[in-house]
Amino acid sequence: MTKVTIQRDICLNLVVPLTATHNFIPLPPFPPIPPPLPGLPLSLAACALESPVNAWWPPGYALGGSQFTTSVFHQGMAICLAGHDCGKFIPHLQIAPAPNNMLTLVHIPFSSRKANFSASTVKMNGKPVAGMTAIAWPPTPMTYCANPISMPLADAPTSHLNTVTVHISLLDWLAGVFAVAAGMLLDALLFRWNGGTQGFGRGAGKTIAQSRGGATVAQLLKSEFIGQLLPGTQKAWQQWAVKQGVGVLVGAVQIGLTGEGSASVGLQIGGPFLSVTPSVSVSHTNSSGWGGKAGVSGQAGTASGELDTSGAGVANNHPLGLGQDSISHQWGKGTTKTNTDISDPFNGFHNQTTTTGPDGKTTISNSRASSPLPNSL
């Protein structure tokens, strides 16, 4: 049995407590860089401290990484659901070989600490409940960002203080293990495809050689934040195809093992904070069977939207992670408006979601209701 993880729970890395390997290029002026060990990338000699964060991490929520219940609560707090990611802007402090890592300016805004496992037979608000405890049985570790391979060695240890458990079946667990293994193999393949240790060394050397004050830093940040319209080379297209293929395989295996899941192919145009993504997907649930849709989605900072064959919708998150306003319309069924308000995070959280359905009926879920909530666990 696995304990649920709620908003207040702490999520952290378990490797050499709190550290993670990250690629390293020094900021100007450039000091001597110790060479990597034979056969190993410089990133394995470059470690950063990554801050522990709560499952509710404001930048992660604001930028759409969080997956929480909206009307089911434990100890008055929302519960993490499948795919939850503590999200971006997790603080990093480079500790080796030196603190002046140019790439820290990229590592922080693109950071991730994501759930890999979920209980397909236990759903809240229509989604499977996440398992995020590495030190448990079965182990359900989170994956944290690292170079050259993201590692499944993060944990939410304070989840053990919660009293609600969910059953992650053997098939659920195997689906999560397959997803983790596929992600690590993909990272390793892409690292080698891009030249491995030598390729990274050449890139770092070129960056250092071409640096003019902060010009290289600005160019690096521009390319990472703005992204590109389309893959610019044949190699980039090939890598995109491999990534999509692995994603489809992971989704297919999850559906095959658990009967629940989805698989999609999409092409992001732009960067992680401003983008448009046309995509097509198929999904399967044990209750509804097969479904599919095609359309386009987009993100602009804290705002997001989608238009596809099932409907349309827009949402905007509070920039401090204190809630969300959304409106969605399903073709032939009507429009639903939802407002989620999160307050008092330093005193146990106060969550309230107001939903107005297509029939005009309004329901309010309040984690601090005066009378016990029917969905309070």
pLDDT in tens, 237-271: 999 999 999 999 999 999 999 999 999 999 999 98
Q: State the pLDDT at residue 289.
A: 94
Residue 377 domain-assigned? no
Residue 371 lies in a domain: no
Q: What is the pLDDT of residue 319?
A: 96
Length of the chain: 377
Per-residue confidence (pLDDT) for residue 38, from 0 to 100: 44
Helix (H, G, I), strand (E, B) or coil at 77: strand
Q: What is the pLDDT of residue 41?
A: 47
What pLDDT score does 27 carry? Answer: 67
In 3D, which of 54, 65, 73 has the Cα closest to residue 129? Answer: 73
Angstrom CA distances, 135 to 3, 153, 170, stand at 11, 10, 17
Given a contact cutoff of 8 angstroms between Cβ atoms, the answer to whether 8 and 158 are in contact is yes
Query: Does an H or E element contain 342, and which?
Result: strand 334-343
Does residue 98 surpass a pLDDT of 80?
A: no
pTM over 0.85, yes/no:
yes
The verdict on residue 333 lying in a domain is yes
CA–CA separation, 246 and 243 (whole Å)? 5
CA–CA dist 100, 92 (Å, integer): 12
161-173 tens-digit pLDDT? 999 999 999 999 9
User: Going by C-beta distance under 8 Å and a sequence separation of 6 or more, which residues neighbour residue 143?
Assistant: 112, 113, 114, 116, 150, 151, 152, 154, 180, 183
Residue ranges making up the domain that contains 27: 2-366
331 vs 225, higher pLDDT: 331
What is the crossing angle of helices 215-226 and 196-210, to 10°?
130
The CA distance from 24 to 152, in Å, is 21
- The predicted-structure confidence for 113-152, as pLDDT tens digits, reads as follows 999 999 999 999 999 999 999 999 999 999 999 888 899 9
Domain-embedded: residue 17: yes
- Domain contains 339: yes
In a domain, 376, yes or no: no
How high is the pLDDT of residue 195?
Answer: 82
pLDDT of residue 199: 65
| HSE toward the beta carbon, residue 155, CA cutoff 13 A | 17
Average pLDDT over residues 312-341: 96
Residue 372 has pLDDT above 70, yes or no: no
Q: For residue 269, what pLDDT is reported?
A: 93
Tens of pLDDT, residue by residue over 204-215, are 666 655 555 556
For residue 102, pLDDT over 70 is answered with yes
Number of structural domains found in the chain = 1
The confidence band for 294, taking pLDDT boundaries of 50, 70 and 90, is very high
Percent of the chain exceeding pLDDT 90 equals: 69
Residue 283 counted as domain residue: yes
Tell me what the pLDDT averaged over the chain comes to: 88
* 226 CB-near residues (< 8 Å, 6+ apart): 270, 271, 274
pLDDT at 216: 64
Q: Does residue 97 have a pLDDT over 50?
A: yes
Asked if residue 372 is part of any domain, the answer here is: no
Tell me if residue 220 falls in helix, strand or coil: helix
Find the range with the poorest average confidence among 21-35, 98-112, 144-158: 21-35
Q: What was the pLDDT predicted at 39?
A: 45
Res 194: pLDDT: 84
Q: What is the share, in percent, of the chain residues with pLDDT greater than 70? A: 86
pLDDT at residue number 210: 57
pLDDT at res. 64: 94
What's the pLDDT at 227? 75
